Structure 1
């Protein structure tokens, strides 16, 4: 989030701007040859400033957030609706504010878009595809320089549809928080402190267990009780640059990408004095009750997005720096296949019925400023 700034480019799934590394290929049993993986990939250039996306089985459409980019070449922000079979553009919904993060509540016909630079959430009715309103999570404050600005920015969103609750992380090096929104009244009902005096990139929800899991750039896992409205546990973890989190709904595991970016390492040292030394480039598997490390899964360079298909025992990871998406067996942690989708694969969405993965792909430094970015469809 933050246009052109370090954290937006380094810690947010909304925009991480890292260098491109060389793709790699893995095999388990039958080899995943370049031909077999390339044949599975469709890709289409879509719009400027693409970030998170979601697939709706109910509407049978892929939703993609387009911020429009920044600067003189920027386009208006919009929500894009893509045909899930060929990625053709079906519709465009104009937005008042730039959209980055996204979470879909398909059962209740709601899509929530994080307006990072405005510290707000845009709410869309997916039955009518009309914008219902904007939830302002906090107001600007006047700083020492006499200018009014938001003290927190946003990254991830998770929703508990049956409980009518939306949870959004608010980032600040002086104290990250968790915003709690009533999805019926569209009002902020709580702001929970204690996520750590650092950016808090990761967010996952265990609605049944009444727990929200967050990670921060002080190498911590912080657990918030949705029933108590406070931090219940915090654990030091081996992931020094913990990014996105995937939760095993049927077990005790959390999967956390550990990015290993030199850019983030420098930010950590300058902002909090935290010395990040581990090379990262892995996914940590953690016991969510204790924070104990259960496994460390090597990845290609710059892992960020992570998605678990528990039914098929598959874990998918975007490797931003390498320009790849890797599929792992989520029980054995062995790589199954790697898909080359350069330049910077970012966010993931899954059509679990058709076994199709959708990926947003960010441009790199060599792409022309203001050029459109892509979405890939991977038949798994």
Structure 2
């Protein structure tokens, strides 16, 4: 079945209710004698499950059940817990980031995208289905503030000093900035149709504008769009490599990955991923790029030098991905800062 452009843009919002699966999917496991040295943890939004991959053998060794729709992750400041957002399941699933085993879950209203502020004080959650941006205390996850800033809060990032957050509103075509010191809205700015991924980068904010096929560079003080960078069809999310030399943009509708120069933002190379619907990614210590393919039930492992890639079968609609090798990195670890 061929999906329309609008259906492809909104594919991430589809709930897995019609598939007839139990909300608590039976645990499938191929247990090893000891935990592998490195794992990839993949959130399958269309299957209410999390796939745990041994990155050495490229095999799924464990599948963890969730409630309904796992999407994104946030690593606790002490690196002891990986919080996985299950939006329509109204829960945060907690996984041991070292072993890829379940530590239970906590009931939270509609968590879709989430992130801890750099100062480790707050956890900010975009509740996409119910149109809230919620601010929780990071230490005990008590609700501090609830905002109603627009329709379908999608992705987010923060200023390095933790004063401001920047949250995209998919159905309102806006980027909204919050002051987390006095808990107020600083500004709302039109950035283009169906904005998604957000990244603070070199003093400005980058926003993937899926409906208009570009990444917008935004002034964080005013919300003014400074320039627009064409990357491909339906750019969904943007990530910076550990050495901060490359920005990767996943063009989900076009089925490609764009590599931009991190300083000039000029397009350096495009990798074809054959209509797989690339969504989120992470970079391994060997430089390989692990990319979730929403439309193919696979994760691609891409060699950015040759452009070749291999695939690993996972669950339906794989979304967020976390590599345990990131735990050895110093400093802040988020989904966007690889």
Is 1:123 aligned to 2:77, yes or no?
no
CA distance in 1, matches of 2:249, 2:82: 23
Is 1:212 aligned to 2:165, yes or no?
yes
**1:212-291 pair list within 5 angstroms:** 212-216=165-169, 217-231=171-185, 233-248=186-201, 251-260=202-211, 280-291=212-223
| SS of structure 1 residue aligned to 2:263 | coil
Residues 346 and 293 from structure 1, CA distance in 2 versus in 1: closer, same or farther, beyond 3 angstroms? same
- What is aligned with 1:60? 38
Residues 133 and 90 from structure 1, CA distance in 2 versus in 1: closer, same or farther, beyond 3 angstroms? closer
- What is aligned with 2:224? 292
- What is aligned with 2:153? 200
Is 1:181 aligned to 2:136, yes or no?
yes
> Given the two structures, how large is their TM-score scaled by the length of structure 1?
0.65
Deviation for aligned residue 1:357: 1.6
Deviation for aligned residue 1:114: 1.2
Instruction: Give 5+ residue unaligned stretches, structure 1.
Output: 17-57, 70-76, 139-152, 261-279, 364-371
Q: Does the aligned pair in 2 maintain the 1:243–1:304 contact within 8 Å?
A: yes
- What is aligned with 2:249? 317
Residues 101 and 310 from structure 1, CA distance in 2 versus in 1: closer, same or farther, beyond 3 angstroms? closer
Residues 154 and 189 from structure 1, CA distance in 2 versus in 1: closer, same or farther, beyond 3 angstroms? closer
CA distance in 2, matches of 1:171, 1:237: 18
Q: What do residues 291-310 of structure 1 show as CA deviations (whole Å, max 9, x unaligned)?
A: 12222111221111211237
Deviation for aligned residue 1:377: 1.1
Residues 301 and 311 from structure 1, CA distance in 2 versus in 1: closer, same or farther, beyond 3 angstroms? same
CA distance in 2, matches of 1:299, 1:81: 31
Residues 12 and 206 from structure 1, CA distance in 2 versus in 1: closer, same or farther, beyond 3 angstroms? farther
Residues 310 and 132 from structure 1, CA distance in 2 versus in 1: closer, same or farther, beyond 3 angstroms? closer
Q: Does the aligned pair in 2 maintain the 1:361–1:376 contact within 8 Å?
A: yes
Q: Does the aligned pair in 2 maintain the 1:124–1:133 contact within 8 Å?
A: yes
- What is aligned with 2:123? 166
- What is aligned with 2:113? 156
CA distance in 2, matches of 1:12, 1:321: 10
CA distance in 1, matches of 2:137, 2:299: 32
Is 1:359 aligned to 2:291, yes or no?
yes
- What is aligned with 1:326? 258
Q: 1:339 aligns with which of 271, 275, 280?
A: 271
- What is aligned with 2:103? 132
CA distance in 2, matches of 1:215, 1:65: 21
Q: Does the aligned pair in 2 maintain the 1:220–1:234 contact within 8 Å?
A: no
Residues 129 and 62 from structure 1, CA distance in 2 versus in 1: closer, same or farther, beyond 3 angstroms? closer
- What is aligned with 1:52? none
Is 1:378 aligned to 2:302, yes or no?
yes
Indicate the structure (1 or 2) with the bigger Cα radius of gyration. Answer: 1
Q: Comparing both chains, which one has the higher relative contact order based on Cα–Cα distances under 8 Å and sequence gaps of 6 or more?
A: 1
Instruction: Give 5+ residue unaligned stretches, structure 2.
Output: 16-35, 305-338
Instruction: Provide the alpha-carbon RMSD of the alignment.
Output: 3.1
Residues 90 and 345 from structure 1, CA distance in 2 versus in 1: closer, same or farther, beyond 3 angstroms? same
Q: What do residues 310-355 of structure 1 show as CA deviations (whole Å, max 9, x unaligned)?
A: 7342111111221111111122222111111122333223236432
Q: Does the aligned pair in 2 maintain the 1:323–1:341 contact within 8 Å?
A: yes
CA distance in 1, matches of 2:294, 2:245: 27
CA distance in 2, matches of 1:291, 1:200: 17
Deviation for aligned residue 1:162: 5.5
CA distance in 2, matches of 1:289, 1:299: 25
Deviation for aligned residue 1:247: 1.5
CA distance in 2, matches of 1:203, 1:166: 11
